[in-house]
A and B are shown apart, each in its own frame.
Chain A
Amino acid sequence: QKEVEQDPGPLSVPEGAIVSLNCTYSNSAFQYFMWYRQYSRKGPELLMYTYSSGNKEDGRFTAQVDKSSKYISLFIRDSQPSDSATYLCAMSAGGGTSYGKLTFGQGTILTVHP
C-alpha cells in the first residue's frame, strides 16, 4: 500500500463547476500538507500549503485537512479552463530524519471544458 493515495482521474468538468480533489494517507507523522498544480510538460507549482488540521482559503481554492481521518481535499470553485492541469498532493512529516522529504500522490488530471 502506498503512503499517499490519490485518484488519478481523469476528471472532466464543465466551466463554473465546483471541483473536489482528494488524497488519503497512512503515515500519522505527516503534518505539512501541500497541493501542487502541474501544467503539461512543466514543473509543479505550489498552489496551497497547510499545517496540521483545518481549512485554508485562497481565492477560488480551499484546502482542507482532516488528520483524524488522514484525508485532505482541495476544492476549486467556479472552475475555469485555465485550471486544466494535473493536481498533486504532497505531504511531509518535517524535521528530524525526514527533513524536507515530501511524499507525493500520483496526481489527478483535471480538464475544465468551456
Chain B
Amino acid sequence: DGGITQSPKYLFRKEGQNVTLSCEQNLNHDAMYWYRQDPGQGLRLIYYSQIVNDFQKGDIAEGYSVSREKKESFPLTVTSAQKNPTAFYLCASSIDRYRGHPTDTQYFGPGTRLTVL
C-alpha cells in the first residue's frame, strides 16, 4: 500500500524536552510538509522540503527543526523553545510539479497528537 505514515499516534512531552515526530512516505513524492493544527485555526505550515537535503521555513517555524536526508523521510523535532507545543501535527507530501504534474495537491498522513504534561 502506498501512503504516508506518521508515528507515534500519541506523544506526551515533559517541559524542557525535545521530541521527534516521524513521517515516512512511499509515494515517491519529492515534496514534503509539516503542519500544525489547533482548534479553530485550520492548518499552519511549519516547514517544507522540495528536495532531499533542502528545506524552508513555513509560517510558524520557531521552536521546530527538520531534516531531509532521504526522499522518503521528513522528521520533525519539537524543541524546548516551542512554548506551546500541544497540538495535532500533520505531515503531507506532493508530487514535484516541475516534472510535468500540474498540481500542488498534497496528501496527508494520519497525524500525531502531541501533549505537553
Among listed B11-19, B36-44, B61-69, B76-84, interface-contacting one: B36-44
Using Cβ atoms and an 8 Å threshold, which residues of chain B touch A4?
42
The smallest beta-carbon distance between B87 and chain A, in angstroms, is 13
From known contacts A41-B113, A94-B97, infer whether A105 and B42 are also in contact, taking CB-CB under 8 Å: yes
Q: Is B90's CB within 8 Å of the partner chain A?
A: yes
Q: Are B110 and A43 in contact (CB under 8 A)?
A: yes
Q: Are A49 and B40 in contact (CB under 8 A)?
A: no
The smallest beta-carbon distance between A46 and chain B, in angstroms, is 6
From 96 to 113 in chain B, residues with beta carbon under 8 angstroms from any chain A beta carbon are: 97, 102-111, 113
Number of chain B residues whose Cβ lies closer than 8 Å to a Cβ of chain A: 28
Q: Mark A1-13, 1 if CB is under 8 A from B, else 0.
A: 0001010100000
Q: Are A106 and B40 in contact (CB under 8 A)?
A: yes
From known contacts A32-B103, A49-B105, A101-B58, infer whether A44 and B42 are also in contact, taking CB-CB under 8 Å: no
Using Cβ atoms and an 8 Å threshold, which residues of chain B touch A32?
103-104
Q: Is B50's CB within 8 Å of the partner chain A?
A: yes
Q: Is B34's CB within 8 Å of the partner chain A?
A: no
How distant is the Cα of A43 from the Cα of B25 in the complex, in angstroms?
14
From known contacts A100-B33, A106-B42, infer whether A43 and B104 are also in contact, taking CB-CB under 8 Å: no
Q: Are A43 and B111 in contact (CB under 8 A)?
A: yes
User: Which of A43, A51, A94, A95 contacts B90, CB < 8 Å?
Assistant: A43
Using Cβ atoms and an 8 Å threshold, which residues of chain A touch B40?
8, 106
Q: Is A60's CB within 8 Å of the partner chain B?
A: no
Closest residue on chain A to residue B112 by CB atoms: A43
8 new A-B contacts at CB < 8 Å, known A6-B42, A100-B97: A34-B105, A41-B111, A43-B109, A46-B105, A102-B43, A104-B42, A106-B40, A106-B41
